[in-house]
Chain A
Amino acid sequence: MAVQLDGMSIVAVIAGVTPFKSIDEDQALVQQVQQGKAAAFELLYKKHYQRVYRIAKGVLLSPDDALDATQEIFTLAYKNIKKFDERSKFSTWLCKIALNRSIQEARRLQKYKKREAQLIEATDIPDAGPQMNDPHVINTLAQMKPQDRAVLVLHYWQQMTAEEIAQVMESTEGAVKVRLHRARDRFKNLYSERS
């Protein structure tokens, strides 16, 4: 099974299980996009959508804002893909865009305090332990800085190591560890207060 783009076969496929098994698949797709094969971007989009959405959701908290931001992030990636120089993995580059854009958007919107207040007033919190839409978690995250939310999201939702996060955040591994430790501690304290 191979992916067809405007009549060109671009991806070497292993075992026919899925078209996304080739090690350099991202690179091949990126090269296709850079050569003007816009359809290749659709494959990158589908492949990385969930990852980008999670970052946006973790930083922005609102599903609607996250959906909008995800489209913007991929638009940015598409527009700037010619600048991608393959010094890093495409996924790292994309995460970097996702993170920066989400943080930028979170700062701009500045409506989370208001949202948090609304949630606190409107929610009768049942004592049923953690759940997918646990308002304690939302409210706790809402009290944190976007950068702190981001580092928690990358570590606990994307299972990224401090080294990988450092690449995305253009920081050092040590600085990421310190930030992660502080963010985790702050989350724990705020969450415990609310619980």
Chain B
Amino acid sequence: MSNLPEDLDGLLWTIAEKRDLSAAEDYLQRFPTHRVELMKRLSALESLQKFAPEDVTVPPFTPRPISAPLPTTWIVASILGIGLVGVGVTLFNNAGNTKTETVPVASSASPAHQPSTAIPQLRASRTAAEGVSQSKQATVPLETPPPAPVKTPAQRAIVQKLKLDGVQLSLVLQILAENTGLKLDVQPGLIDPKVSVEYVNQPALFVFEDLGRKFGFQAFEDAPGVITILPKKEETSGVPPQPNESPFGFNPPQERNPSSPFSGPIGKR
């Protein structure tokens, strides 16, 4: 900033902007010591205005991928990596509690009710939210009726937020499994397109099953903590399968034998 009074400073800029020579002469007659300051402003503004780019040839409009505006690919990769780690941390935080819980042990006396995997999202969220209180009931004596439904690890693990764009399906499954503490058993023949998914506060099992409905495979918890991915066969995929359809004769978990060794209240051995 110059040391000139504010009014004179403004006046000098006005003279310089308008390039009014007669006004400049009048001013310098009154304030001859300001000649250098006026010349600086004239020179700076003239240079700046002349520096304005000339018109360029208009190239054809070629839409750009805005999501990747950075000049170097490693920056893009690192941001993607940070994003994935963020998703991972979010998922891990939710899966952490479920990993430490004991796996339900067999009980033929009280077959557990397995919630339907085809239920709407609202119900899935509600049942997932009940998971903690239900697991606490494991300490209640068996005589206390009724026995609480016990959820499998894949039903207890909650995917708090998962949003992936243009990621291969196999990677999505892997990210889900690793961050929910579940094991993945992918059978051969899985089609692996790039997909975009978004889930908020859903049980992991629901997410796997929903992905299966959308991308042509059957997902079920074959054993506690183990998600089996069974790709749909070609001959049955000619017609897009309807949601909840089970063209392979597999029964989803809710339809399994209630006397399954993995059903029953916690604590009874």
Contacts and interface: CB of A to CB of B under 8 A. Distances in A.
B41 A105 contact: no
Q: Looking at chain A, what size class is its interface with the partner chain?
A: 35 or more
B109 interface: no
Given A71-B64, A132-B50, A157-B52, A191 B70 contact: no
B199 interface: no
B66 A137 contact: no
A131 to B, nearest CB: 7
Main secondary structure of the interface of B (DSSP, over half): loop
Given A45-B61, A71-B62, A192-B43, A130 B69 contact: no
A50 B40 contact: no
Given A50-B55, A72-B66, A75-B63, A156 B49 contact: yes
Nearest to B53: A57
Given A130-B51, A134-B50, A191 B44 contact: yes
A49 to B, nearest CB: 5
Interface residues of B, number: 29
Nearest to A158: B52
A78 interface: yes
A22 to B, nearest CB: 20
Contacts of B66: 72, 75-76, 79
B47 A136 contact: yes
A133 B13 CA distance: 24
CB-based closest 3 A-B pairs: A130-B47, A188-B44, A157-B52
Interface of B: 1-2, 13, 40-41, 43-56, 58-59, 61-64, 66, 69-71
